[in-house]
Structure 1
Amino acid sequence: MTEWLDGLTAWLSAHPQWLGLALFVVACTECLAIIGLLMPGAVLLFTLAVLAGSGALGLGETLLLAYCGGLLGDLLSYALGRRFHQNIRRLPGLRHHPEWMASAEIHFHKYGFASLLVGRFIGPLRPMLPMVAGMLDMPFGRFLLVSLLASVGWALAYLLPGWATGAALRLPLPEGFWSEAALVAAPLGLLLGLCIHFSLQRHPRVPLLAAGLCMAALAALFVGWPQLDRLDQGLLALLQEHRHAWVDRLMVVATRLGDFKTQVAAGTLLCALLLFARQWRPALFAIGSLLGTALANGSLKWLFARVRPDVLVHPLESYSFPSGHSSAAFAFFLTLGVLAGRGQPPRLRLTWLLLACLPALVIALSRVYLGVHWPTDILAGALLAATVCAASLSLLQRHAALPALAPRVWWLVLPATLALLGGIATWALPEAMEMYRYQ
């Protein structure tokens, strides 16, 4: 496998004109029923994304090709299930491996359309769930809507890290950049690995352990951020080099979702709806996470008065460490992710948290892209939100686990909060474009 992958990489490096087609085909087959189980799609996609980031394809082209390829794989899998229905079990491969479909059927029957959203990030389920949805006659309109949304997060999660790695390898970054990057990445990888391990082992103190680990990482970052200047400068330069007018508009919309007034409105609405639905303990968890993060962020900014990057024409007066947008966004979406994962198996809980982190990550990265924050600012904001969120959950679960929200509560909470966020971002777009005009 290694020799084959090395040969493919070498051939595409010598013939970059075929990289786009290869990316589309691999993304499609990675999401295609049965075939997606047999190929190392994640490794291939990362490798192709690194090649694309090295100068062969822009970020927008890379994400769009992967998005379209993954969406086509979903549609073909759905059509396969719709065409054969229960007879699909007689197809080669499935006839001898019925367990390939068993897990997907269980998840689909248990979680419905939500399984398509969450299962997109679980390797064995990703290529099988669309086929099961077609086999069980899920309405095509509903399937298409969920697949359109899920493909966005999947493309970002699977392609963005590889593309950023390729772009970073190509740029003349400051000397010492990679050593500082390793110094930050290694502890973060260890933190995530331990949290995932304890979650899968169903450790009774997972929230408390996660809060302690995140707090330790945050404390280390507060002590060491002055020594990470080359990392900050390099990552900022990487994002600034790839600025385009159409991406600017998207990033401004994203950054508006993390504005103080927007997050206050969204957080207040979320807590009010939970209280209205008489979900007392989930409401207390949400209040503790959101209010605690806001108070902690304000206090830390006052203690660590760090100047913002010199990118804007009119630099903002407030200090940047930790990023208020990053901490508020991660606190809000992590709260939703934790509530969505209640009462579910560890793998699904972790997947909900991953999904929740994606919009928060976009908001956080928009701050670096627009030159308003340093990368370590948004990392500190994310760690702060994770610390407070995990601590709030740990306190509420001292005597009993936090209960799962009923579907009727989600149909009340989710559309209202998402509509509020979308409405505010759209309404504020003209003013935001003027505010974040850069040199």
Structure 2
Amino acid sequence: MSQWLDSLTLWLTANPEWLGLAILLIACAECLAIVGILVPGTLLLFAVAVLAGSGALSLGQTLALAYAGGVLGDLLSYATGRYFHQDIRRLPGLRHHPEWMLGAEFYFQRYGIASLLVGRFIGPLRPMLPMIAGMLNMPFGRFVLVSLLASAGWAVAYLLPGWATGAALRLPLPENFWPQAAVLAAGLAALLLLSVHDSLGERRRASWIAAGLSLLLLLGLLLGWPRLDQLDRGLLALIQEQRSASLDSLMVLITRLGDFHSQLAVAALLCLLLLLARQWRALCFSGGALLATALANGALKALLARQRPEVLLEPLNSFSLPSGHSSAAFAFFLALGVLAGRGAPARLRLAWLLLASLPAMAIALSRVYLGVHWPSDIIAGALLAGGLCALSLSLCQWRTPLPALPAKVWWLILPACLGLLGAIATWRLSEALLLYRY
């Protein structure tokens, strides 16, 4: 396998004009029924994303090609299920591996639309769920809307790390960039691997361990940030290289969603809805995580007093470490992810958390893109929010696990909170257009 992958990457390096088509086809195959199970698409996508980041394709082009390939794979899988219906079970491959369909069918019938969103990030389910949706006659318009949304998050999660690696290898970065990056990456990888391992093992202390590891890594980052100067400057230069006038407007809009008043409004709405629904333990978890993150962020900023990057033409008065936008966004969206995953199997709970992290990550990265924060600022904000969310969850399920929200409560909370964020984004956009006109 490694020899074949090496041959492919060498050929694409020598023929970069075919790289875009390769990304499109690999992304399509990764999301195509049956094929996506057999082809190691995740590894292939990382490899071609590294080549794209080395100068062959811009980040926007790379994500757009992967997005188009993912949507195409979904549509082909859906069409296959819609055409064959129950006869799909007799197709080559599925005839000898009925378990491939049984798991996907169970998830789809139990979780419906949510399974298509969350299952996108679970390897064996990703290529099979669209086919199951077609087989069970899910309305085409509804399926397309869900696919367009899920493919966007999937493209970012699966292509951005590889592209950033390729771009980092290309740029003339500071001398100590890679050693500092290796130390930080090793710490984050250990946190994620241990947390995932404990969650999949259904260990009762999984949330305690995740909280302890997150806060311990945060402590190390807060003590060692002066020694990460070259890493911060290198990553900031890498992200600043992608700036453009059109992308600036989008990033300003995204960062507005993480402003204090925006996050305060959606946090208050979440807690109010939980209060009205009399979901006391869920309210204690969410309110405790959000309030503790806000207070801790303010205290740490005042204590560390780190100055912001020099990118800003008019530096802000407040300090930068940890990023308030990052910590607030991660606290809110992780709280939603935890509530969504209650009562679900471990893999689905983890997928909900990954899905919930994507909008928070977009808000955090917008701060670095705009030059308002150092990369270590937003990492510290994410660790702070993740650690305190895990700690709040541990305390709320000290004796018994936090129960799942009733479906009618969850489907009230999610549209209401996302609708409020959408209204804030629309208001900010109309405000910007009005200022531009006059």
Which range, TM-score by smaller chain? Answer: over 0.9
User: Equivalent residue for 1:395?
Assistant: 395
Is the CA contact 1:252–1:433 (under 8 Å) kept in the aligned structure 2?
no
1:88-99 map, 5 Å: 88-99=88-99
Q: Please list every run of 5 or more consecutive structure 1 residues that lacks an aligned counterpart in the other structure.
A: none
User: Equivalent residue for 2:371?
Assistant: 371
Is the CA contact 1:252–1:429 (under 8 Å) kept in the aligned structure 2?
no
Is the CA contact 1:253–1:426 (under 8 Å) kept in the aligned structure 2?
no
Letter in 2 for 1:37: I
Distance 1:278 1:78 in 2: 40
Q: Classify the secondary structure of the residue corresponding to 2:189.
A: helix
User: Equivalent residue for 1:125?
Assistant: 125
Q: Percent identity at matched positions? A: 69
Q: Classify the secondary structure of the residue corresponding to 1:120.
A: helix
1:344-423 map, 5 Å: 344-423=344-423
1:432, distance to aligned residue in structure 2 (A): 6.8
User: Equivalent residue for 2:153?
Assistant: 153
User: Equivalent residue for 1:249?
Assistant: 249
1:431, distance to aligned residue in structure 2 (A): 6.2
Distance 2:290 2:116 in 1: 29
Letter in 2 for 1:89: R
1:64-213 map, 5 Å: 64-213=64-213
Tell me: CA distance 1:204–1:433, structure 2 relative to 1, closer, same or farther (3 Å). Answer: farther
Distance 2:228 2:276 in 1: 46
Q: Classify the secondary structure of the residue corresponding to 2:309.
A: coil
1:95, distance to aligned residue in structure 2 (A): 1.1
Q: Classify the secondary structure of the residue corresponding to 1:179.
A: helix
Q: Please list every run of 5 or more consecutive structure 2 residues that lacks an aligned counterpart in the other structure.
A: none
User: Equivalent residue for 1:52?
Assistant: 52
Q: Classify the secondary structure of the residue corresponding to 2:204.
A: coil
- Number of residue pairs matched? 435
User: Equivalent residue for 2:271?
Assistant: 271
1:319-330 map, 5 Å: 319-330=319-330
1:430, distance to aligned residue in structure 2 (A): 6.7
Distance 2:40 2:139 in 1: 31
Q: Classify the secondary structure of the residue corresponding to 2:412.
A: helix
Distance 2:431 2:273 in 1: 30
Is the CA contact 1:334–1:389 (under 8 Å) kept in the aligned structure 2?
yes
Moved more, 406-415 or 285-294: 406-415
Letter in 2 for 1:39: V
Is the CA contact 1:367–1:373 (under 8 Å) kept in the aligned structure 2?
yes
**What do residues 99-135 of structure 1 show as CA deviations (whole Å, max 9, x unaligned)?**
1111111111111111111111111111011001100
Is the CA contact 1:153–1:355 (under 8 Å) kept in the aligned structure 2?
yes
Moved more, 261-270 or 88-97: 88-97
User: Equivalent residue for 2:424?
Assistant: 424
Letter in 2 for 1:258: G
Distance 2:211 2:27 in 1: 36
RMSD: 1.3
Distance 2:90 2:100 in 1: 13
1:329, distance to aligned residue in structure 2 (A): 0.3
Q: Classify the secondary structure of the residue corresponding to 2:185.
A: helix
Q: Classify the secondary structure of the residue corresponding to 2:121.
A: coil
Distance 1:107 1:369 in 2: 38
Is the CA contact 1:239–1:368 (under 8 Å) kept in the aligned structure 2?
yes
Q: Classify the secondary structure of the residue corresponding to 2:358.
A: helix
Distance 2:263 2:68 in 1: 32
1:426, distance to aligned residue in structure 2 (A): 2.5
**What do residues 217-259 of structure 1 show as CA deviations (whole Å, max 9, x unaligned)?**
0110011000000000000000001101221122111111110
Distance 2:387 2:92 in 1: 49
1:425, distance to aligned residue in structure 2 (A): 2.1
Letter in 2 for 1:378: I
Letter in 2 for 1:52: A
Moved more, 162-171 or 88-97: 88-97
Q: Classify the secondary structure of the residue corresponding to 1:414.
A: helix
- Say whether residues 1:17 and 2:17 are aligned partners: yes
Distance 1:100 1:340 in 2: 25
Distance 2:195 2:10 in 1: 37
Letter in 2 for 1:285: F
Tell me: CA distance 1:183–1:390, structure 2 relative to 1, closer, same or farther (3 Å). Answer: same
**What do residues 73-104 of structure 1 show as CA deviations (whole Å, max 9, x unaligned)?**
00000000000000111111111111111111
Distance 1:121 1:87 in 2: 27
User: Equivalent residue for 2:343?
Assistant: 343
Distance 1:425 1:263 in 2: 12
Distance 1:74 1:291 in 2: 40
